[in-house]
Amino acid sequence: MKKRHIAILGATGSIGTQTLDVVRQHPDLFEVDLLTAGSNADLLITEAREFDPAAVVICNEVKFDQVREALRDTDVKVFTGTQSMCDLVAAETVDIVVAAMVGFSGLRPTVAALKAGKAVALANKETLVAAGDLVMDLSRTHHAPILPVDSEHSAIFQCLLAAGDNPVEKIHLTASGGPFRTWPRERIALASKTDALKHPNWSMGAKITIDSATMMNKGFEVIEACWLFEKAPEDIHVVVHPESVIHSMIEFADGAVLAQLGCPDMRVPIQFALAFPERLPLKGEKLDFAKTGRLTFEEPDRTKFPCLSLAFEAVGRGGNIPCALNAANEVAVKAFLEDRIGFYDIPDIIGKIMAQTPYIAKPSLEDIFETNDAAYAAAERMI
């Protein structure tokens, strides 16, 4: 494999730092050209010193001077602001852009990367939830492939490589069930953010951890799968699989099912996206079947996790409604993390915002930004 130059958006987060760990294991195959962060200047500086990228972007302007001063003795160019991120991902030397920012903030730079024809290793699922139609269209128009990083979608992608030209009847999207899988509804209603932040199998950023507790994360992944694999929502079946060993499955017309398995380690799908179509060695835990023992499955409980139904409703209605779902969720999760609302206020707020959002069947990118801003403001007022 020829050396690949990568840009990492959200380099200080859970996916970003694990991406750098993959790079650390293959310094001969990957070179970091760009690192971006939101506010974590200290970590960005440390990463820049280790990986020596051509440029870094610290989005929070208040931290700009700190980063610039700290890197003054290096060749690393320091920038701030979303626009510089959008300009830098388009640099000629960049081969792959890892989209690992959180939430709607990832949309603009991802759009810029696709427009520049870059391959995008996509972790930032909210981009597809909010603007799936437009994003997939840009990917096709600019011949910019989207390689899934989300473990379930990477699993489906890997299974599809074995499917050849045979059509897939159904996708089985596995879900861990989150920390509240076995809790009764009355107890979940009183759950604190500390309870919700205890994910049983994965260590991730705070927002996606809360999304996993409400199962909105799985709802988002249904929408993500619809776009990535051109499937209708009714062809996607969510199944709770608490061990998180099977990362997802595809089913054919004859009933045969292909699955992708492995230890829950995000570096596996990250590395597969970066090295595609090659498979490289990766240091880390490997599956021990006898030790794993039993694999279990159950139906998701939609009365305990109404966010899952809200996501199916949003993708069923289509247009700008999934964008409103995403914006309302972003505001509600933030408020829950600030102890301003209870756990079931999250789906309540999202349902109300979806109901009051003026419907646009075929939104433009401008419409998406407007829908996001309006839903965001309305959800904040509601809280």
**Site residues (CB under 6 A) for ligand NDP?**
10-16, 37-40, 59, 100-102, 105, 123-126, 150, 202, 204-205, 207-208, 266
| Residue 246's binding partner out of Mg ion, ligand NDP, none, with CB under 5 to 8 Å set by partner kind | none
- The distance of closest approach from Cβ of residue 186 to Mg ion in the complex, given in angstroms and rounded to an integer, is 28
x-or-dash string of contact with Mg ion, 85-114, rule CB under 5 A: ------------------------------
Token digits for 272? 């597969």
List binders of Mg ion among 123-152 (CB under 5 A): 150-152
User: Which residue in the shown chain puts its C-beta closest to ligand NDP?
Assistant: 13
- The distance of closest approach from Cβ of residue 207 to ligand NDP in the complex, given in angstroms and rounded to an integer, is 6
Annotate 133-156 with b (16+ C-beta within 10 A) or e (fewer): ebbbebbeeeebbbbbbbbbbbbb
- The distance of closest approach from Cβ of residue 358 to ligand NDP in the complex, given in angstroms and rounded to an integer, is 26
Rounded to whole angstroms, how far apart are CA atoms 246 and 243? 8
Q: Is the peptide bond before 277 cis (omega within 30 degrees of 0)?
A: yes
| Residue 125's binding partner out of Mg ion, ligand NDP, none, with CB under 5 to 8 Å set by partner kind | ligand NDP
Q: Cβ closer to Mg ion: 33 or 152? A: 152
Rounded to whole angstroms, how far apart are CA atoms 53 and 110? 19
Q: Cβ closer to ligand NDP: 35 or 356? A: 35
**Sequence-separated (6 or more) residues with CB below 8 Å from residue 90:** 112, 113, 115, 116, 118
Token digits for 26? 């293959």
Packed helices 365-382 and 126-141: angle between N→C axes, nearest 10 degrees: 180
Q: How much of the chain is in helix, strand and coil states, percent to nearest 5?
A: 50, 15, 35
Q: Cβ closer to ligand NDP: 202 or 252? A: 202
Q: What is the CA radius of gyration of the chain?
A: 20
Q: Cβ closer to Mg ion: 80 or 248? A: 248
Q: Cβ closer to Mg ion: 32 or 175? A: 175
Q: Is residue 211 involved in binding Mg ion (CB under 5 A)?
A: no
x-or-dash string of contact with Mg ion, 151-170, rule CB under 5 A: xx------------------
- Which pairing describes strands 246-251 and 257-261: parallel, antiparallel, or unpaired? antiparallel
Size of the site for Mg ion (CB under 5 A): 3
Interface residues with Mg ion (CB under 5 A)?
A: 150-152
